[in-house]
Structure 1
């Protein structure tokens, strides 16, 4: 199995939910974690727990994406892992969506993934090593009512990662996409621990363990895609 000790990992959306769980678990495995989010107060708390680096940034902004990578290199000298987890979502009938809501989802979910991947690739290619993990969604593979905008952004993110996987494999770089089902987080203004969702949803720690699984796979093993959803969720 691949040892994560001293691996340098950038985790976006690290201030809460899935990103927080991933950052904490990677730190427990000995990784040096760069925690990225837009909310400084919550981010600092996670960075303290991981003994890592906190960078307040908007992943959909090109200058911020380049800053995240530059600061990681300045502090640690390399990048081994990029976790593209930052994401936003809102749900409504298509006719009720505003252009602002549509653009925000594509900015964070798609452009954010594109910009961070683009920024780290020169370093990963120079190393002939590295692992990019995208936290997509099971709606990257299906559609549902009220999910036109969010689903479209996740289909697009999936396409970015899938295409990138084919472009970088010859450099020894792995790209894995994880498709979580329903997760008990703050996503879409919900609050974790709600009795109505606690027994029917995945926990952020479940997704973090899935990330650990793909990162710790032996060097000769490639996990391209991993679907994870609760037993209570039907398809």
Structure 2
């Protein structure tokens, strides 16, 4: 079990939802939390709730994440963990979406490139300072499949950003391990969690959301995330159906392999 006492932790997307729940849970475990978000009022409230500090941060600016890591290391002497939780939604039906929409650049930067930039800055700092760090990247059930409960919501481009962040996390973990870097990488895979972003798309009453989504509260997602870290898991899902939802892709590839007569070399 991880002893968070005295650890320096940065959490992005901490003004509400899973980020706020993580900040409160880690504060209760003795961590010194820096809660970061573009929402100044929300992140100030989170900092008060977790006994930490607030940092206004817009990860659409590619330089902002690395600068925040450098700033915190300079101020506190180290940074033990980053929870790269910030993310934005983007709901457009793919066949009608404007692929040249400037909002897409913001989507890629925050959801996909932001965590990668944070990991790069964190491992540089850890190597220079001689400590081991971890990064926990929030992906999504959309990273793994097309969940049946949301297939009519127009999530194609958002899902692409979350597919991207998963494979980037897998490569970050692989490269860190193979190169002996002082960085542990984990990926949180939330299913349906009641947050401001999901409520904006589905309405404010979770009782009216599709029952198969199995909506949970952010506090439960944070609890599962920290339990997953205690167990040294890379993939940390919040719902059992995430595994089942991947079955369609797995079986389709298997059926195609058989139909094409492909076999593994002896």
TM-score, length-normalised on structure 2? 0.79
Q: Bigger shift: 12-21 or 145-154?
A: 145-154
Select which of 219, 233, 237 maps to 1:205. Answer: 219
Q: Which residue of 1 aligns with 2:189?
A: 179
Q: Which residue of 2 aligns with 1:90?
A: 90
Change (3 A) 1:193 1:30: farther
Q: Which residue of 2 aligns with 1:116?
A: 118
* Distance apart, 1:100 and its partner CA: 2.6
Q: Bigger shift: 10-19 or 53-62?
A: 53-62
1:30-49 maps to which residues of 2 (within 5 A)? Answer: 30-49=30-49
- 1: distance between equivalents of 2:243 and 2:135? 27
Alpha carbons 2:84, 2:138 under 8 Å: kept: yes
TM-score, length-normalised on structure 1? 0.89
- 1: distance between equivalents of 2:125 and 2:242? 41
- What does the per-residue CA deviation read over 1:61-103, in whole Å, with 9 as the maximum and x for residues that have no partner? 1331133112211332101111010001122311332323322
Which of the two has higher C-alpha Rg?
A: 2
* Distance apart, 1:148 and its partner CA: 1.3
Change (3 A) 1:214 1:231: closer
Alpha carbons 1:33, 1:52 under 8 Å: kept: yes
Q: Which residue of 1 aligns with 2:234?
A: 224
- What does the per-residue CA deviation read over 1:14-54, in whole Å, with 9 as the maximum and x for residues that have no partner? 00011000111000000010111001011111111222121
Where 2:222 maps in the other structure, the secondary structure is helix
Q: Bigger shift: 118-127 or 192-201?
A: 192-201
- 2: distance between equivalents of 1:105 and 1:27? 29
Q: With CA pairs under 8 Å and 6+ residues apart, which has the higher RCO, 1 or 2?
A: 1
- 1: distance between equivalents of 2:172 and 2:18? 23
Q: Which residue of 2 aligns with 1:162?
A: 170
Select which of 154, 159, 175 maps to 1:151. Answer: 159
Where 1:96 maps in the other structure, the secondary structure is coil
Alpha carbons 2:13, 2:37 under 8 Å: kept: yes
Name structure 2 gaps, 5 residues minimum: 246-266
Change (3 A) 1:107 1:208: same
